Amino acid sequence: MKYNISFQPTIQSKLASIDFDNLPFGQVFSDHIFVADYRDGAWQDLRIEPFGPITMMPSNLTLHYGQAIFEGMKAFKNQAGTPVLFRPEMHAKRLNASAARMCMPDLPEDLFLEALHQLVGIDHAWIPNKPGNSLYIRPFAFATEEIIGVRPSNSYKFMIFTAPVGPYYDKPLKLIAANKYVRAVPGGVGEAKAAGNYAAGLLPTQEAHDAGYDQILWTDNHEYKYIQECGTMNIVFMIGDTIVTPATDGAILKGITRDTLLYMLRQKGMKVEERPVSIDELAKAHQAGTLKDAFGVGTAAVIAPVTEISYYESQDATRVKTIKLPLEGRDISTGLKKELHEIRTGILPDPYGWVHEVKIRDAAAV
C-alpha cells in the first residue's frame, strides 16, 4: 500500500448501544475517524483513531474566515453483505475542486480513496442491514493555523467520519422561488461544497419554513427568474418527454447524483437538456399540461418529488402563484430511483463501474 495509515482502535465500541431500528439522521457516529494533517506543504500523520473531540485555539482561522469544505456520500451493503461505495472517485475529485476554490491544498485522490476504504472496512459493522438505511460518510477539510489575518492557512486537517442513518423520508416538497436572497452567483463559491454556502442559506430557508414551504427554489441573482437548485439539492424537470435541468453555470453545485441520473437517462435514449430553465417556462409548460415531473436530486434523498412550486408574480409583489404537480404518474423518476437503489445494493448488476467493494478489516485484530 502506498500510504501508511496507523490505527488506534477504540477501547470501548459503541456499536452494541445503538438502536439500529430507530436511527435519527446525523446524530449517531461510528467508532473511528480518519485524520490527516497538512503541514510544511505535505499531508502527514495519516491515522485512524477513536471518534472524539478535537481541540483548537480560539484563533483558529476556520472559525473566523471560513476556509472549510466537505463532501457527503454513502456506503451500503450489497446482496452478499459486502460493503460498497458509490462513485467514490467523483467525491475525491469534487473535494479537490472545492479545495482549489477555497485556496486549500489538493488531497491526493488515491489517499482519499485509501483512507475511505480503510475506515469503512474497519467500521463495516456500522453499515445498517435494514433496506433503505445506509452509512453516511462525511469527509471534510478545514484550516488549522492559529493566527488572526485574512490569508490562506499554512496548515489544515482532513478528516472522514461516518454515521449510520435511517431512510430519508421523501415527503413531497413544496418550494418557494427566491425573490430576495441568492444562494450563489457565477464567479462566487456556489460550485464549491464550502461550509459558508450553507450558513448563507439558513436565514432564507428559515423564512421559507415560517411561510409554510419546505425549501427554497434558488434563482439567479439578476432577475430571480432562472432556476438554480432547490435547498441543497439539484433540480430536474420533465417537460413533455424531455428531461430538463439547469446547466451548471458556475453557481450550481455539480451533484454526483445529478450526473448519475442524467447519465442513466441518456443511456435509456431519453432526451436530456442542460440549459437555462426559467420559472416562466415552467408556468407555461404547466398551463399547457406538459410539465410532467419535478424532483430534487442529491445523495441524501436520491430523488425527492416536488409537488408545489410557488413564485411571486413580480419581484416586489406579494401575490404568489403556485404550480401544483400530482405525486402520481411519475414513472420515470420513481423507476430511476428504484433502479439506482438496486444498482447500489447489488440487486441489479452495475454496468457503469460505479459500485466499489470495500475489503472488511478486523478492527480488533490490528
Ligand X SMILES: *Cc1c(COP(=O)(O)O)cnc(C)c1O
Please choose, out of 114-122, 148-156, 240-248, 255-263, the segment that lies near ligand X by the rule CB under 6 A. Answer: 255-263
Interface pick for ligand X out of 298, 343, 346, 355 (rule CB under 6 A) = 298
DSSP conformational letter for 194:
B
What three-state secondary structure class fits 17? helix
What three-state secondary structure class fits 203? helix
Nearer to ligand X, 94 or 286 (CB): 94
**Could you tell me the CA-to-CA distances from 141 to 95, 245, 309 in Å, in that order?**
9, 30, 35
Minimal distance, residue 162 CB to ligand X, in Å: 16
Interface pick for ligand X out of 98, 133, 179, 232 (rule CB under 6 A) = 232
Q: How far apart are alpha carbons 65 and 210 in whole angstroms?
A: 30
CA 19 from chain centre, in angstroms, equals 25
Q: How far apart are alpha carbons 303 and 75 in whole angstroms?
A: 17
User: Does 256 contact ligand X by CB under 6 A?
Assistant: yes
Minimal distance, residue 169 CB to ligand X, in Å: 17
Interface pick for ligand X out of 253, 277, 285, 332 (rule CB under 6 A) = 253
User: Does 229 contact ligand X by CB under 6 A?
Assistant: yes
Please choose, out of 107-115, 168-176, 229-237, 348-356, the segment that lies near ligand X by the rule CB under 6 A. Answer: 229-237
According to DSSP H, which parts of the chain are helical?
A: 61-65, 88-101, 109-122, 195-210, 256-267, 279-288, 331-344
Nearer to ligand X, 30 or 260 (CB): 260
Contact in structure between 260 and 272 (CB atoms under 8 Å)? no
User: Does 257 contact ligand X by CB under 6 A?
Assistant: yes
Nearer to ligand X, 258 or 286 (CB): 258
Dihedral sign of CA atoms 260, 262, 268, 269 in order: negative
Contact in structure between 162 and 175 (CB atoms under 8 Å)? no
DSSP conformational letter for 146:
B
Burial class (CB in 10 A: 0-12, 13-18, 19+), 82: middle
What three-state secondary structure class fits 284? helix
Please choose, out of 9-17, 74-82, 231-239, 273-281, the segment that lies near ligand X by the rule CB under 6 A. Answer: 231-239
Interface pick for ligand X out of 299, 307, 333, 345 (rule CB under 6 A) = 299
User: Does 72 contact ligand X by CB under 6 A?
Assistant: yes
Amino acid at 53: P
Nearer to ligand X, 149 or 187 (CB): 187
Please choose, out of 97-105, 230-238, 309-317, 349-357, the segment that lies near ligand X by the rule CB under 6 A. Answer: 230-238
Interface pick for ligand X out of 193, 286, 344, 361 (rule CB under 6 A) = 193
User: Does 87 contact ligand X by CB under 6 A?
Assistant: no
What are 294's strand-pairing partners? Answer: 237
Please choose, out of 58-66, 166-174, 248-256, 340-348, the segment that lies near ligand X by the rule CB under 6 A. Answer: 248-256
Number of residues that bind ligand X (CB under 6 A): 13
Q: Which of 139, 138, 170, 134 has its CA nearest to residue 23?
A: 134
Minimal distance, residue 177 CB to ligand X, in Å: 16
Residue whose cell numbers read 475517524: 33
Please choose, out of 232-240, 270-278, 308-316, 326-334, the segment that lies near ligand X by the rule CB under 6 A. Answer: 232-240
Binding site residues, ligand X, CB under 6 A? 72, 193, 229, 232-234, 253, 255-258, 298-299
